[in-house]
Every structure is written in C-alpha cells, then in structure tokens.
Structure 1
C-alpha cells in the first residue's frame, strides 16, 4: 500500500480501476490521498463491495453514473510505473491514442491465444 500511495500522489489521479483481489490494498493506499474521488472495481464474484466502491459493470451499464471530461486522443489516459530497480519508480504517461493503438493490435498479436 505504501508504494501505491506514492504512485497515487505522484500521478494526482482521482479515479482508480482495480481488480477484486487488489481492492483492499488500493483502499488502504487511498486513505491518505485526498484527491482520490472514485474507486471502480472490476470483479468476478457477486460478493458485496465496501461502501463507496463502484462496481465496473454498474458504471458502464447505467450512464451517466459518472460524469467525465471530454478528452482528445493526445490527452493522458494512464500512467505506468517502472519497478524502480535502480531508484524510485518513475511514471510513464500513455496517451489515449497510444492505448487505443495497442488495444487495436492485440487481436492480431494474440490470435488463437487466450489472455
């Protein structure tokens, strides 16, 4: 949770998407992050979520549950952090354009394989 908290603070993120198995770590890391507004959980079970956590399927099936700003393809989409093997982890900004290009090429690269 300490490393996650550092990354949340460094990036200034206000929304975090997490999986069910990492939810407790994310919740712990966001306790001291006053900028964090929304935690969205992608889950595989029907177990109840803690108060204030939004189910991903609910978020996408009931627009406009959340209001988002309009973005351009060159705006930041996400920040990936290095492992920090030679120092503090560093964030790399990935644009919407780059993310879309990577997702678009995945079917060709992973053809015939499940991931």
Structure 2
C-alpha cells in the first residue's frame, strides 16, 4: 500500500507545481491589470476558464500537445482580453469605477453561463 502511494508522489508533486504556476500567472495578470489600468476585472477567472477549455479542445480534437497549445491559446486569450477592453470596457465605462465593475461582473456571468450551457451535460 505504501509503495503504491510513493509511486504516485512524483506525479502529485508535478501536478502541484503546475497548479501553483497557473495560480501565480492568474495572480500576476490580476495584479498587472489593476496596477497599470486600475481595473478590477471580475471576468479574469472566466476568461481563464475559456482559455483552459480551448487548450482542452485543441488536445482532444486536434491532438495538439497541451504544452504546444499553451503557445496557441495564450496569444488568442490576450487578443480576446484586448478586444474586451477596447470595445467593451473602454467605451462603456467612461472612466467610472462602478461601470467597470458592473461591465466585468456582467461579462463574467455571461461567459460562465455560456460555458455552462455549452459544456455541461
């Protein structure tokens, strides 16, 4: 019994480092957005979810290695985030923090419910 759990230890450690890296990148993104643009983005987690679903489908539909899919998904997610800022947050917020919070919260709800509609059984 102990040998079975010891054989799983390296995989568990690697998974822990990978989850930690994802959380660190999300925290870095939130900090960067707030530090530079002074925007609290409630849709940040929902956009991460979309990027992870895109990587999942690239792997399962096109057999693209997950590490290679990071190179594909990351620029696409960046472009998506820029489009949201350029055409959603920028014109609609008019510099008010309340409007930015409501726009990003509404966008988060829309993205999460869209994912729930399309990806749940």
Scaled by the length of structure 1, the TM-score of the pair is 0.20
Higher helix proportion: 2
> Which structure is richer in relative contact order (CA contacts within 8 A, separation 6 or more)?
2
Larger radius of gyration: 2
- What is the TM-score of this pair, normalised by structure 2? 0.19
